[in-house]
Structure 1
Amino acid sequence: MAHFPKPAAGSWTQAYPDLGTDPVDYKSSTDPEHYALEQKAIFKRTWLNVGRIERLPKTGSYFTRELPSVCQGTSLIIVKGKDGVVRAFHNICRHRGNKLVWNDFPNEETEGTCRQFTCKYHAWRYSLDGDLTFIQQEGEFFDVDKSQYGLVSVRCEVWEGFIFVNFDDNAEPLNEYLGPLGKGIEGYPFHEMTEVYSYKAEIGSNWKLFMDAFTEFYHAPILHQGQYTKEEAAKIQQHGFEALHYELSGPHSVISTWGGQSPPADLNMVKPMDRTLRSGLFGPWDKPDIEGLDSLPPGVNPARAPKWGIDSFVFFPNFMVLLWEPGWYLTYQYWPTAVDKHIFEASLYFVPPRNARERLAQELAAVTFKEYALQDANTLEATQTMIGTGVVDKFLLCDQEILLRHLHKTASDYVAEYLKTESDKMTNKEHANGATC
């Protein structure tokens, strides 16, 4: 993995010359036709994280995932079989197409444990492996072969406890797709951090715009100044913010920065509540005593900075993992539902608390994070409204916004490659038809 120092202004972006330094075109965030192409070119062809392995603690454990980003109405069942293998299936009965697994409201996700899946409509049954095992009044059908009517499977692989699916049968294996950045953090003790706080909201902006907000810290001294004491906010605003390290690897990227030490070097920069509970936006200050935090994987803190605080990994298209120095992690996901809307999901993962004070410290971190996220979301809806006017469609990005530049180029490259592939298919088909004639 190549690491590029920053000897002069602009060198991060210039270390990747194919990115260029021109203003970036944001029309892809306002064009409905381009959004439809992103669904086909990106979300139907890349690995998508759908959850953690802890949600499937035993045989027959399952949960459903609604994925309109792939195609409107797409719903999956994720289940652990008797052999311990995690599988994914389209959530659709092979009889008349009813949604197979749901509770009171068909459009809401659900979870549970079962021995088999039974359709609510006509009681067709399917095993945990997806095989059709029972047809009500089977004799009424005509020469039916149950082995041909199992649930439709979706590629499913697990990496470091994260469950991924891919709708493209020809896509490369998950480990290869995640590449060096994924390899570099293997061994991090994700499995120890099972206390989870989650948020989910519909945001009125294109999915890439919210990712933009969380792949740079250029905005932090201005937008989030209310989260600091007055004196510290003035100091940070005056000097600005610069991260320690930026890196691009294929479609993925990482930004590494200071902050999050436990406790902060200057206790005057945080609020009295933070000092009382020894917690805040950077998470609980007291690092948990578990294996794997003293000797971190080589991809964590790639700059080897003594005051390192956070690594934010962006796994294209829509999955972000943030590793925090005090010993917890955070995930973001962005699921587009329209060109100007998406579902934002965030989860904070901690080692289970041992007492009430540790629990309150985790809850304070979760509440503080929510305040930051609301500030970002509110700003982005204003951004979407304005760029939607088309008055301006190309925007300047500074060197600290290299991950934004990379994200928009990567998304556009996927669409361009998809269009080329489809064009080649059409040309080959025309040639074949001509040859036949």
Structure 2
Amino acid sequence: MDVAVEQTIRERIEMEKARTAPPDDAIAVPLIPATRYTNPDFFELEMQQIFHRNWLFAGHESEWAEPGAYQLFTRSGAPIVIVRGQDNVLRAFYNSCRHRGAPVTRDVCGVAKRLTCQYHSWSYDTQGKLKAVPDSRSFVDLDTDDLALVPVRCEVWQGWVFVNEDSEADSLVNFLGPICEQMLDINGPGMRRVGRQIHRVEANWKLMVDAFLEVYHIRTVHPDNAALLYDDQSVTVSMLPNGHSRLTTEKREELRDFPMVSDQYDNPSVGLLWRQTSTSFGIFPNLVVPMDTGAFTFLSMWPVDQRTTELELNWFAPEWQGDEVPEEHLQRLELFDTVMAQDKANMAPIQASVESPGAQPFQIGWHERLIHHFQRAVDLSIGPDLLPAGTAVSTALDSYVER
């Protein structure tokens, strides 16, 4: 991480711990309409304008370990297949045969030289080109060059794979902006998958994202784990471009320099700041990455419907020897499960309350402003002119975005 950025974060931590009133530059955070979490029209706009038009996390490049390796990706609502070509390039296509629309693979993952439709056996190579058409004699003027699989944007940054259905979208690197430099310390190319956990939560996906953009709740919801480790009075946040964010909370003094990972599985590329704090990055629209020196997770909040979310935790760690996942990493997953159980128990009742006649616009504090920043990015991604009446958030915090 840039020395100046690290110094700024440390200075802000000290200022946060010392203050007894809102900072001089703080303003009252404008209200957030509760109907954003319940309006079915708003939800449909989110699915079309956000999840079909933004970069979505799909995995780590090591999961496509060899040419011909493929995986299905359906989280945006569209069937997509991501495949490593024989030229070693990762590409994505709609999983739809150009003949009559059947899937070119029904397997969740695998390795193949060809993707072959199981309806009429049209066959495509790993670069999406149509290679074989049974009974081609019956097709007049068949132009196979014009019948390749329909591509989907797929780009890799530091080993992390993202897809985007918007062919006109900015590049992944430009979209991520300063996060590209600030997350370099994790050494993405040297990572390997540890495991995956999926939790179904009866709450709107934005309520789930909101919960990971503040630590105000940890003394109440996580008194026996996170609250013991982190000083919530030290939290410092940054509103970054495109709805992204950074949140840093200092570890309590007595635990600040206590090693949380054994030397054997420690990530040597991680600097001192990340070791002495919990620093997480919010990547719009639905990804939160709490950095750590050992196994750590990419948390994705995937909407199922307007009141149901699948929270997907993809765990990674620095490369290790052998096929078996180290027990130390598995213990980290088990520990985090206790935190997730507390969050799950908290979220469903919140959704019920938000849906009740007594629900009022949310009054959040300055230390929770990343929530407003995220919600404002939702509005911008949908398009302000398309928002249902009474659902928009204010533009008042736009000038606080750190360019």
Q: TM-score, normalised by structure 2?
A: 0.84
Q: State the Cα deviation string for residues 311-351 of structure 1 (Å, max 9, x = none).
A: 11001001111112x34432100111211112210022223
Q: How far 1:218 sits from its partner (Å)?
A: 1.2
Q: In the alignment, is the contact (CA less than 8 A) between 1:116 and 1:127 conserved in 2? A: yes
Match of 1:139 among 130, 137, 151: 137
Distance 2:167 2:150 in 1: 13
Distance 2:179 2:216 in 1: 23
- Determine whether 1:22 maps to 2:22: no
Aligned to 1:274: none
- Determine whether 1:199 maps to 2:203: no
Match of 2:71 among 43, 63, 66: 63
Q: In the alignment, is the contact (CA less than 8 A) between 1:89 and 1:130 conserved in 2? A: yes
AA matched with 1:177: F
Match of 1:288 among 232, 242, 265: 265
Q: In the alignment, is the contact (CA less than 8 A) between 2:294 and 2:329 conserved in 1? A: no
Instruction: Give the 4+ runs in structure 1 shifted more than 4 A.
Output: 1-4, 352-355
Distance 1:343 1:419 in 2: 26
- Determine whether 1:87 maps to 2:91: yes
Q: State the Cα deviation string for residues 168-198 of structure 1 (Å, max 9, x = none).
A: 1111111111011222223532233314121
Alignment partner of 1:37: what SS? helix
AA matched with 1:308: Q
Q: How far 1:361 sits from its partner (Å)?
A: 2.3
Distance 2:312 2:385 in 1: 27
Distance 1:86 1:253 in 2: 28
AA matched with 1:44: H
Q: Which runs of 5+ in 1 are unaligned?
A: 104-109, 268-277, 302-306, 421-437
AA matched with 1:97: G
Distance 1:118 1:316 in 2: 35
Q: In the alignment, is the contact (CA less than 8 A) between 1:62 and 1:79 conserved in 2? A: yes
Aligned to 1:342: 309
AA matched with 2:200: E
Aligned to 1:369: 336
Q: State the Cα deviation string for residues 297-322 of structure 1 (Å, max 9, x = none).
A: xxx65xxxxx7222110010011111
- Determine whether 1:124 maps to 2:122: yes
Percent of pairs with identical residues: 26
Q: Which runs of 5+ in 2 are unaligned?
A: 388-403
Match of 2:208 among 186, 204, 210: 210
Q: How far 1:264 sits from its partner (Å)?
A: 3.5
AA matched with 1:402: R
Q: In the alignment, is the contact (CA less than 8 A) between 2:245 and 2:370 conserved in 1? A: yes
- Determine whether 1:318 maps to 2:326: no
Q: In the alignment, is the contact (CA less than 8 A) between 1:284 and 1:362 conserved in 2? A: no
Aligned pairs (5 A) from 1:1-400 = 3=8, 5=12, 6=15, 8=19, 9-11=21-23, 14=25, 20-67=28-75, 70-71=76-77, 74-103=78-107, 110-186=108-184, 188-227=186-225, 241-250=232-241, 251-259=243-251, 264=255, 284-286=261-263, 288=265, 291-293=268-270, 295=271, 301=274, 308-324=276-292, 326-352=293-319, 359-400=326-367
Q: How far 1:352 sits from its partner (Å)?
A: 4.9
Question: Cα–Cα, structure 1 residues 347 and 359, in superposed 2: closer, same or farther, change >3 Å?
Answer: same
Q: How far 1:289 sits from its partner (Å)?
A: 5.4
Alignment partner of 1:375: what SS? helix
Distance 1:407 1:78 in 2: 28
Question: Cα–Cα, structure 1 residues 266 and 308, in superposed 2: closer, same or farther, change >3 Å?
Answer: closer
Q: How far 1:392 sits from its partner (Å)?
A: 1.5
Structure number with greater Rg is: 1
AA matched with 1:21: V
User: For structure 1, which segment, 50-59 or 345-354, has the greater mean C-alpha deviation from structure 2 after superposition?
Assistant: 345-354
AA matched with 2:279: D
How many residues matched?
374
User: For structure 1, which segment, 181-190 or 314-323, has the greater mean C-alpha deviation from structure 2 after superposition?
Assistant: 181-190
Question: Cα–Cα, structure 1 residues 290 and 212, in superposed 2: closer, same or farther, change >3 Å?
Answer: closer
